[in-house]
């Protein structure tokens, strides 16, 4: 059963982000730490009591496409969506003007972790709907906003994102779906694949955001427009009209997230409405994609947290052998290697959460503030979103794999449910832009384009925090600070190398994924070092749960000695490893 990581989230909000100071800075005094905690606790009840019990059911009994093209979702999912909507959760991020609750992103990011940790397939429907609300609020006309956002905020309608076609995956410039103008609307014709929650029976209507080309559009990505295409047409009074000319051809059979229907959709002269201007669609859709990329990174954290919970529960229950210097009958958590495994998993998951919430706070500042403060926050968020998407999702594969290992042979058996987490996690480094795409974004647009200025500003902030921890007078934060300072030096060495080879883009591209992971490990260490400093302060003041704070110190120590040393290896791989990779001729790899 899924449990809300309430204490760790509250610790991050209060002691690492300064939640009340943050909300005052944002002009959101209405949202106190106590209120945020109450929201999280209530969300945790729904996640644990309703969504989590359906997770394995959905995996074993995935959605079915009916002969008429409708899709019947897994048992219990439609009722769960009704309960989810009745409690107001779809309205979290929408603006108040459109019936939303307009919660700070720092809060909604933490709440979204719960949905995905409890039931990632279910959470995907909410993720895509929130992303579409975000895109429409930013780019749609007032009439479009009034028509489509309130029903999605109520949960009566859901949203999707339609980019991919059989011949156009990463290369969106190759898409062929057509949009022909007919008076005040367009007729959309083409086929889209990999459409998450593209057809289902949980909501009254499904609103598709579809990329397509008008007849006279320029070639490539410059000729892409985006259209609202509802499953059911909407009358002027907001009621539903005739079914639109689109249908679900099939539902994909997948490795994981089986309860999330991944549809192949055929548009056969479907009525759609242009969002924004013609040929500006990719820019609009990227707004939704950027929101989704952060959310997918949060999925990596969420499924890692669930894996830690399952691994720890099993390790406390399973008795096998007598632990070294232990006694007969003690569970396997007392074996040093199992203690190492679960301890490393917990430390890394805590680091993931801290970095995710840090970036969410920057996104809030970019949204609510003005001038240089907003610009600086936007730059920091832009730098770290590909890290969130890349590092958190790649590491979720390792964490879920380690959780299978803790279970031993039982981990390979579907009955325990841990194998499902391992399978579900595998999509995360792929969809919404593969790790390679995040790497190219980070290294070319976010690192080399500004001469490394944004990264060096980040490193300067980390080093300043390390300096302050060094002066704490307590040995553990001081040791963490020393580890962090050394890691910053390694990151600077890697950055210098990348800048020196900036005129050879193939070398930069070969190093991109390593660079994503390096900054991820570093930011995780930064936040864990800060957490250690705060834990020591609270213990000295006699505040908080002493055992939990000691556990936080232990997690920080594990991170510094078991995870942060990854930077040394990654720096070595970056500084010269690119030449070794590029020396390999593609044809040689086909030789037997």
**Three-state DSSP string of 416-482:** HCHHHHHHHHCCCCCCCCCHHHHHHHHHHHHHHCCCCHHHHHHHHHHHHHHHHHHCCCCHHHHHHHH
Task: Judge whether 432 counts as a catalytic residue.
Answer: yes
Q: Residue 556 is encoded by which pair of tokens? A: 């920080």
Residue whose C-alpha is closest to residue 9's, from 114, 125, 119: 114
186 φ/ψ angles, rounded to the nearest 5 degrees: -130, 155
Q: Residue 471 is encoded by which pair of tokens? A: 């002066």
* Contact yes or no for 150/132 (Cβ under 8 A): no
**Cα(first)–Cα(last) distance of the chain, in Å?**
49
Return all residues near 460 (Cβ < 8 A) that are at least 6 apart.
none
| Cα(135)–Cα(276) distance, integer angstroms | 11
C-alpha atoms less than 13 angstroms from C-alpha of 293 in its C-beta half-sphere: 26
Q: Residue 340 is encoded by which pair of tokens? A: 């190492």
Q: Which residue has the tokens 């679960």?
A: 342
Q: Catalytic pick from 113, 305, 402, 432?
A: 432
Strands 185-196 and 262-274: antiparallel
Q: Residue 554 is encoded by which pair of tokens? A: 């232990």
| Cα(45)–Cα(383) distance, integer angstroms | 34
Q: Residue 353 is encoded by which pair of tokens? A: 């959460």
Torsion of CA 518, 374, 280, 169, to 10 degrees: 20
Residue whose C-alpha is closest to residue 260's, from 298, 294, 299: 299
Return all residues near 78 (Cβ < 8 A) that are at least 6 apart.
201, 202
Return all residues near 234 (Cβ < 8 A) that are at least 6 apart.
147, 148, 205, 240, 241
| Cα(94)–Cα(96) distance, integer angstroms | 6
Q: Please state, in angstroms and as integers, the Cα–Cα distance from residue 479 to each residue in 16, 491, 533, 551, following that order.
A: 19, 19, 11, 17
| Cα(520)–Cα(351) distance, integer angstroms | 9
* Contact yes or no for 160/195 (Cβ under 8 A): yes
Return all residues near 177 (Cβ < 8 A) that are at least 6 apart.
165, 188, 189, 190, 191, 192, 210, 211, 212, 213, 267
**Residues annotated catalytic, as ranges:** 432
């Amino acid at each position: 059963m899924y449990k809300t990581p309430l204490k760790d989230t509250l610790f991050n909000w209060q002691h690492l982000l300064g939640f009340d100071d943050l909300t005052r800075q944002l002009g959101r005094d209405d949202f106190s730490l106590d209120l945020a905690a109450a929201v999280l606790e209530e969300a945790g009840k729904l996640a644990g009591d309703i969504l989590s019990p359906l997770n394995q059911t959905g995996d074993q009994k995935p959605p079915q496409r009916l002969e008429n093209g409708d899709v019947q979702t897994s048992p219990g999912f439609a009722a769960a969506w009704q309960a989810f909507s009745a409690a107001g959760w779809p309205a979290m991020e929408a603006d108040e003007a459109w019936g939303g609750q307009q919660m700070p992103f720092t809060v909604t990011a933490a709440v979204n972790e719960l949905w995905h940790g409890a039931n990632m397939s279910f959470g995907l429907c909410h993720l895509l709907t929130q992303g579409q609300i975000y895109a429409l609020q930013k780019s749609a006309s007032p009439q479009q906003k009034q028509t489509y956002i309130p029903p999605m905020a109520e949960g009566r309608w859901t949203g999707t994102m339609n980019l991919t076609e059989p011949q156009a995956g990463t290369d969106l410039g190759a898409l062929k779906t057509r949009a022909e103008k007919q008076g005040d609307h367009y007729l959309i014709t083409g086929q889209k694949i990999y459409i998450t929650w593209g057809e289902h029976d949980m909501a009254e209507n499904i609103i598709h955001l579809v990329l397509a080309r008008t007849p006279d559009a320029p070639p490539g990505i410059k000729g892409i427009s985006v259209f609202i295409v509802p499953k059911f047409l909407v009358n002027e009074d907001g009621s539903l009209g005739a079914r639109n000319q689109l249908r679900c051809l099939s539902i994909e059979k997948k490795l994981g997230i089986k309860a999330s229907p991944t549809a192949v959709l055929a548009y056969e002269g479907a009525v759609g409405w242009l969002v924004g201007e013609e040929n500006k669609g990719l820019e609009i859709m990227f707004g939704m994609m950027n929101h989704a990329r952060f959310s997918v990174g949060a999925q990596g954290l969420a499924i890692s947290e669930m894996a830690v919970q399952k691994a720890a529960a099993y390790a406390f229950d399973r008795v096998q052998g007598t632990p070294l210097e232990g006694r007969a009958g003690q569970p396997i958590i007392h074996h040093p290697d199992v203690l190492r495994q679960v301890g490393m998993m917990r430390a890394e998951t805590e680091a993931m959460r801290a970095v995710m919430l840090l970036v969410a706070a920057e996104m809030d500042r970019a949204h609510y503030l003005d001038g240089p403060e907003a610009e600086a926050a936007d730059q920091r968020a832009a730098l770290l979103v590909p890290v969130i998407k890349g590092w958190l999702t790649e590491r979720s594969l390792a964490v879920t794999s380690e959780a299978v290992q803790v279970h031993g042979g039982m981990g390979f058996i579907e009955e325990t449910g841990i194998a499902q987490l391992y399978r579900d996690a595998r999509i995360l480094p792929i969809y919404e832009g593969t790790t390679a795409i995040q790497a190219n974004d980070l290294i070319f647009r976010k690192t080399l384009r500004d001469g490394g200025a944004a990264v060096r500003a980040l490193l300067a902030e980390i080093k300043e925090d390390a300096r302050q921890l060094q002066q704490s007078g307590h040995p553990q934060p001081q040791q963490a600070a020393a580890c962090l300072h050394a890691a910053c030096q390694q990151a600077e060495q890697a950055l210098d190398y990348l800048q020196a080879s900036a005129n050879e883009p193939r070398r930069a591209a070969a190093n991109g994924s390593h660079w994503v992971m390096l900054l991820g490990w570093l930011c995780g260490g930064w936040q864990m070092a800060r957490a250690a400093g705060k834990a020591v302060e609270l213990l000295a003041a006699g505040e908080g749960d002493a055992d939990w704070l000691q556990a936080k110190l232990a997690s920080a120590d594990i991170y510094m000695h078991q995870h942060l040393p990854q930077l040394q290896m990654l720096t070595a791989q970056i500084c010269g490893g690119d030449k070794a990779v590029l020396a390999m001729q593609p044809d040689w790899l086909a030789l037997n």
